[in-house]
Amino acid sequence: MTATPDNARNTAGPIPVGLIATPNRLEQLATFVQRCPNLDLRAQAGMPQSACLPDVPWVDDTRVLVGQRELQAVLLATSTADDVALSRTAAGNGLHVWRLPPLADTFAEAVEHVRQARKLEVVYRVASWWEHVAEHAWHDLDWPAEFQAVFSEVLVSAPEAAATESLIYPPAVGGALPNEGYALLEALVALRGLPESATGLVGRVRDVAGRPSRQAEDAAIAVLRYDGGGMATVRASRGLPPAETRIVHHGRTATVCVNDEEVVLTGTDGAPLDRRGLPNAFLAEELTRFSEAVRGNARDRAAAPLDRHVATSAVLEAIHLSARTGQPESPARLYAGQGWPEPER
């Protein structure tokens, strides 16, 4: 990426944007993009012309779209690797960038991506579901004094065709954990920080009739250990019913459960102490945050989730590395190997 100050254009009205998306992600994003009053969708690419949105100019080359001078920003929803490459080109052309996580395919790539992003003079935003939870429910719960999670459980079992629209990012070529499981893994990292070690197993359980054999896992499990004896379990799957999505944190005096509809706090006897609903508006809010950051040139605010995305990448890589080595792996070693400071708790 190259810092480019040539994006100080008029942002009084709707922001002219381009959308680059694969067909399955286009279906999820289209409604939110077109209904966002702060965005003016001027061009689209990344999907076949037969699958594109009506009444929006289609470009057959993504490089042409990110080079259009009438655009101020680009929204990216392809594969992780393609989003990384496109964001570099777009930012180098002076376009503000919004995209879906994961941040990168490897921890080393994630660190380098953030290192370059911090030099930018454009707004760069990688979506964060945890911010949606924190804003609408987490901070308002009637917490018991000094609640601290000791044992956490992450469970995601997404349908084969698509993931839960309000919570999980659409499936791509990657496995169940970095795709369907990413939002909850980010939420786990937000509360618990980096684990001391991660032990993981990944695998393929079944193939779908009429489709090519999988190139990535449809099931992943992990056990995370934290300093002081805390622990967490993670299970993510695709196409293995029943469909479920939740993260649970057990403390010594209370339990909190988060799903795509609500956050519920219960006592040790299971009786509800407090509950807060989550609006089905994650992507709409993300685009609003992004557009407001562009209008206010709030680069730091837009980039706030990046360190958490880096930490989530470290946990993901440690789990997959453990699955290959058969040994517990330390996310902190990944930080040390890249000379990158560990996140503060």
Residue 215 is predicted with a pLDDT of: 63
* Domain endpoint, select from 128, 146, 175: 128
Tens place of pLDDT per residue across the chain (345 aa):
544 444 445 556 899 999 999 998 898 898 899 889 999 999 999 999 999 999 999 999 999 999 998 999 999 999 999 999 999 999 999 999 999 999 999 999 999 999 999 999 999 999 999 999 999 999 999 999 889 999 999 999 988 754 333 333 333 335 889 988 999 999 999 999 999 999 999 988 877 666 555 567 889 999 999 999 999 999 999 888 999 999 999 999 999 999 999 999 999 999 999 999 999 889 999 999 999 999 999 999 999 999 999 999 999 999 999 999 999 999 999 999 999 999 876
Residue 231 is predicted with a pLDDT of: 98
* Domain endpoint, select from 88, 112, 128: 128
- Note whether 103 and 138 are same-domain residues: no
Q: Token pair for residue 336?
A: 């040390």
Q: Please check whether residue 102 lies inside any domain of the structure.
A: yes
Confirm if 28 and 2 have CB atoms less than 8 A apart.
no
- Note whether 206 and 248 are same-domain residues: yes
- Note whether 157 and 217 are same-domain residues: yes
Residue 226 is predicted with a pLDDT of: 97
Interior angle at CA 196, CA 259 and CA 246, nearest 5 = 10
**Range 230-234, long-range pairs (CB < 8 A, 24+ positions):** 230/149, 230/150, 230/151, 230/192, 231/150, 231/151, 231/152, 232/151, 232/152, 232/153, 232/154, 232/188, 232/192, 232/195, 233/152, 233/153, 233/154, 234/154, 234/177, 234/181, 234/185, 234/188, 234/200, 234/319
From the number of C-beta atoms within 10 Å of its C-beta (0-12, 13-18, 19+), residue 16 rates as middle
Residue 154 is predicted with a pLDDT of: 98
Q: Token pair for residue 237?
A: 């799957």
Residue 171 is predicted with a pLDDT of: 37
- Note whether 194 and 86 are same-domain residues: no
Q: Token pair for residue 62?
A: 């993504």
* Domain endpoint, select from 128, 144, 177: 128
Q: What's the number of domains the chain is made of?
A: 2
Residue with tokens 């009786």: 271
- Note whether 73 and 136 are same-domain residues: no
DSSP class per residue in 258-287: E-SSEEEEEETTS-EEEEEE--S-HHHHHH
- Note whether 187 and 245 are same-domain residues: yes
pTM more than 0.75: yes
Quote the domain boundaries for residue 105: 15-128
Confirm if 180 and 168 have CB atoms less than 8 A apart.
yes
- Note whether 140 and 228 are same-domain residues: yes
